[in-house]
Chain A
Amino acid sequence: IAGITQAPTSQILAAGRRMTLRCTQDMRHNAMYWYRQDLGLGLRLIHYSNTAGTTGKGEVPDGYSVSRANTDDFPLTLASAVPSQTSVYFCASSATRATEAFFGQGTRLTVV
């Protein structure tokens, strides 16, 4: 079934550790996004990529980095995790920046 796959589904991480959340899509979408979802705050954009080889900062990029080496993959890295990064992370993709986005199932990350 075509779609977006995120891994892991959940993770408990010690503060200060490095962590990469993986995201793969098989729809050949040009644009990909990372959001975090927090209670009372809704979804907030962390980073985005309009096409392979380019990335941009969203609303809450600090403490996160991304890369887009190819069309299918868009990993999100926390260089040194902090408790405030405890959240549910969603990867999404869209054919273009003007079309609807499709979401993965999410990664629940707890930083302790």
Chain B
Amino acid sequence: GDSVTQMEGPVTLSEEAFLTINCTYTATGYPSLFWYVQYPGEGLQLLLKATKADDKGSNKGFEATYRKETTSFHLEKGSVQVSDSAVYFCALRMDSGGGADGLTFGKGTHLIIQP
């Protein structure tokens, strides 16, 4: 079945450091890919998305590029802030076909940014 693998962390960085959170996926077709962010005590919020190969999603300084050849969707940010501390989830969705609906999530990466 479809699956998403991401580093679980916690990942601890200093403010203004460069961030990479790796995400790779396994899918039988061509999924849409998403990054969600969960701040403490809150639900998940969509951070960015990409729907086809070579698409780049971006939002709030975060970027991720859909790489079909490496089945990856790594999240990057050039200079992190304390307010970026949260849990980040990589997810995929197949746009067609049978089976259970909904998103397939990675297990989440807890990011801690220290001042």
Number of A-B pairs, beta carbon distance below 8 Å:
63
Chain B residue, CB-CB nearest to A3: B43
Q: How large is the interface on B (under 10, 10 to 19, 20 to 34, 35 or more residues)?
A: 20 to 34
**Does the CB pair A48–B108 fall under 8 Å?**
no
CB contacts under 8 Å to A, within B94-115, are 95-96, 100-103, 105-108
Given the complex of chains A and B, what is the CA–CA distance between A97 and B95 in angstroms?
A: 7
CB of A42 closer than 8 Å to a CB of B: yes
The interface residues of chain A lying within 8 Å CB-to-CB of B45 are: 103
The interface residues of chain B lying within 8 Å CB-to-CB of A102 are: 46
The interface residues of chain B lying within 8 Å CB-to-CB of A35 are: 102
Q: What is the distance, in angstroms, from A30's C-beta to the closest C-beta of chain B?
A: 11
Contact with B along A85-112 (1 / 0, CB 8 A): 0000010100001101111111000000
Given the complex of chains A and B, what is the CA–CA distance between A71 and B44 in angstroms?
A: 22
Chain A residue, CB-CB nearest to B1: A59
**Does the CB pair B105–A42 fall under 8 Å?**
yes
Residues of chain B having any CB pair with chain A under 8 Å: 8, 32, 34, 36, 42-46, 49, 89, 93, 95-96, 100-103, 105-108
